[in-house]
Amino acid sequence: MQCVEDMAFALKQWQELLIGRKRDEVGYEVGIVGQSCLWRLYNLHGFDISHDLTYDVMHILALCVFKKYVHTFVKYVEKNGEIKDFDGVLQTVKKLGPATLGASWPKSIESLGFCKAKEYQIFVMWCLPRVIDHLNLGLDSILA
């Protein structure tokens, strides 16, 4: 992990490059896409961006990790022609799931592409295990 001084140095080098391919390559290599206004806090007060920020783990998991695997699963189901079974299982699981889930329940396989964080969490917790079991799938075949 980089320390804040290394990140500040990389940002300075990145800023000195003219806008173009070389700047994009350097930015990609060190993880810079632009200058955040938070760097002012570093310059004024020594605010360490890498340590002094609070990360929203709930949304990072749901909208990055869960979303990626849900979309991988949806592609697998579409490729293997099991969409009708999938939507049927969603409706069955909805009947079995807690009533408190309400409107956040994914309606169909098509609706999984436009979910909020809560819907990805609900799908992974309640639907995915039952869908995998119903379709008699193993995770190895899905992630392959």
Q: Name the DSSP letter for residue 54.
A: P
* Token pair 């990055």: residue: 64
Q: Would you give per-residue pLDDT tens digits along the chain (144 residues)?
A: 468 888 888 888 888 888 888 888 888 787 777 778 888 888 888 888 777 877 777 777 777 788 888 778 778 777 877 676 777 777 777 777 767 666 666 667 777 766 777 777 777 877 778 777 777 766 565 555
Q: pLDDT at position 130, please?
A: 77
- Please tell me the pTM assigned to this model: 0.50
Looking at residue 4, what is its pLDDT? 80
Checking phi first, is residue 31 left (phi over 0); if not, alpha (psi -120 to 50) or beta? left
92 three-state secondary structure: helix
Q: Is 27 exposed, middle or buried (0-12, 13-18, 19+ CB in 10 A)?
A: middle
